[in-house]
Amino acid sequence: MYLNNNQVKISIQLSSIFMAFFMSFGFSISLYEVYEQAGPANGYDKYIVLDPDIVYTGGIGSGEESIYIEGNGAVIDLNEGTGIWIAGDANNNITGSLDIDHCSIMNGGSYGINLSGYSTNSITNCNLINVHWGIQVSDEIQVTIRNCNFIDNSYGLAVIGQETDINLSYCNAWNNEYNYMLNCLG
């Protein structure tokens, strides 16, 4: 069966309408699925590239891998669950790391980003919105946090302990119970 030109035009128009309809309701996929499919690149064990037209759901975590998330303005909706975590272990020479750029992380039940143990990390141009702990840092973590916004959280940046090395610059915080909190209860 062959389609004439009018039928092809109608088919293309209908396809465009259906695509616009489904995209207007937002397409979402699991961040964990994207993490599992990501391969190594540019010196990272997991190099994740997000699409700004997709809402990613849920969190990910690692204690052994270096992870880069190229956010491209994408939204990560934690759906009241846990966020993105890295937990390195200096005693066993396990040093996972996280570098994340241009993401909005929202609706977390406990934390947006949790860095603990021993690792070097970078969080740049991210928004942390409506999570209990926007970014939680503890133990012997080294992290650069630059150009980030902490909005409507219990704690924007929560630091637990005194062994952390945090370079915080050009960040904004508003409508948090505590914008920047040192020596929080873990």
Could you state, in order of their start, the residue ranges of all structural domains in the chain? 26-182
Tell me what pLDDT residue 114 has.
Answer: 96
Are the C-beta atoms of 75 and 56 separated by less than 8 Å?
yes
With a CB cutoff of 8 Å and minimum separation 6, the contacts of 71 are 50, 100, 101, 102, 103, 104, 125, 126
By C-alpha distance, which of 158, 68, 175, 177 is closest to 115? 158
What is the distance between the alpha carbons of residues 97 and 109, in angstroms, rounded to a whole number?
Answer: 22
Tell me what pLDDT residue 24 has.
Answer: 45
Pairing of strands 140-146, 155-160: unpaired
What is the distance between the alpha carbons of residues 43 and 25, in angstroms, rounded to a whole number?
Answer: 36
Tell me what pLDDT residue 25 has.
Answer: 52
152: left (phi over 0), alpha (psi -120 to 50) or beta: left
Q: Is 18 helix (H, G, I), strand (E, B) or coil?
A: helix
What is the distance between the alpha carbons of residues 93 and 136, in angstroms, rounded to a whole number?
Answer: 22
Tell me what pLDDT residue 68 has.
Answer: 98
What is the distance between the alpha carbons of residues 152 and 172, in angstroms, rounded to a whole number?
Answer: 12
With a CB cutoff of 8 Å and minimum separation 6, the contacts of 70 are 47, 48, 49, 50, 101, 102
What is the distance between the alpha carbons of residues 92 and 28, in angstroms, rounded to a whole number?
Answer: 37
Each residue's pLDDT, cut to its tens digit, for the chain (186 residues) gives 554 555 544 544 444 444 444 444 557 899 999 999 999 999 999 999 999 999 999 999 998 999 999 999 999 999 999 999 999 887 777 778 999 999 999 999 999 999 999 899 999 999 999 999 999 999 989 999 999 999 999 999 999 878 899 999 999 999 999 998 876 655
**End-to-end CA distance of the chain, in Å?**
67
DSSP state of 43: T
Fold for the domain defined by 26-182: Pectate Lyase C-like (2.160.20)
Half-sphere exposure of 21 (CA within 13 A, CB side): 6
